[in-house]
Amino acid sequence: MLTGPQFSPAALQAVRARIDRAAAAAHRNPDSVCLLAVSKQQPADRVQAAYASGQRDFGENYVQEAAAKVDALAGLADIRWHFIGQLQGNKTREIAERFSWVHTVDRERIAARLNAQRPHHAPPLDVLIQVRLEDEPGKGGVAPGQVAALATVIGTLSRLRLRGLMCIPPPTQDMTTQRDAFRRLRELLERLNAAGFQLDTLSMGMSDDLEAAILEGATIVRVGTAIFGPRPA
For residue range 15-48, list pLDDT tens digits in order: 999 999 999 999 999 999 999 999 999 999 999 9
Contacts of 125 (CB under 8 A, 6+ apart): 96, 99, 100, 101, 102, 114, 115, 118, 159, 160, 161
pLDDT of residue 4: 53
**With 60 as the cut, is the pLDDT of residue 193 above it?**
yes
**Is 1 part of a structural domain of the chain?**
no
In a domain, 3, yes or no: no
- Whether residue 4 lies inside any domain: the answer is no
For residue 159, what pLDDT is reported?
98
CA distance 64 to 35: 23
At 212, which amino acid appears?
A
2 lies in some domain? no
Number of compact structural domains in the chain? 1
Instruction: Tell me if 150 sits within 8 A of 111, measured CB to CB.
Output: yes
Distance CA 104, CA 36 (A): 14
- Is 86 a residue whose pLDDT tops 60? yes
User: What rounded mean pLDDT belongs to the chain?
Assistant: 95
Contact 111, 153 (CB under 8 A): yes
The answer to whether position 111 is within a domain reads yes
List pLDDT tens digits, range 90-149: 999 999 999 999 999 999 999 999 999 999 999 999 999 999 998 887 788 999 999 999
Q: Assign residue 75 the CATH number of its domain.
A: 3.20.20.10
Whether the Cβ atoms of residue 210 and residue 168 lie closer than 8 Å to each other: no
pLDDT range class, residue 189, cuts 50, 70, 90:
very high
**Structural domain for 137, as ranges:** 9-228
Q: Is residue 194 part of a domain?
A: yes
> Looking at residues 68-88, what average pLDDT do you find?
95
On whether residue 222 sits in a domain, the answer given is yes
Residue 231's pLDDT band, with cuts at 50, 70 and 90, is confident
Assigned domain for 233 exists: no
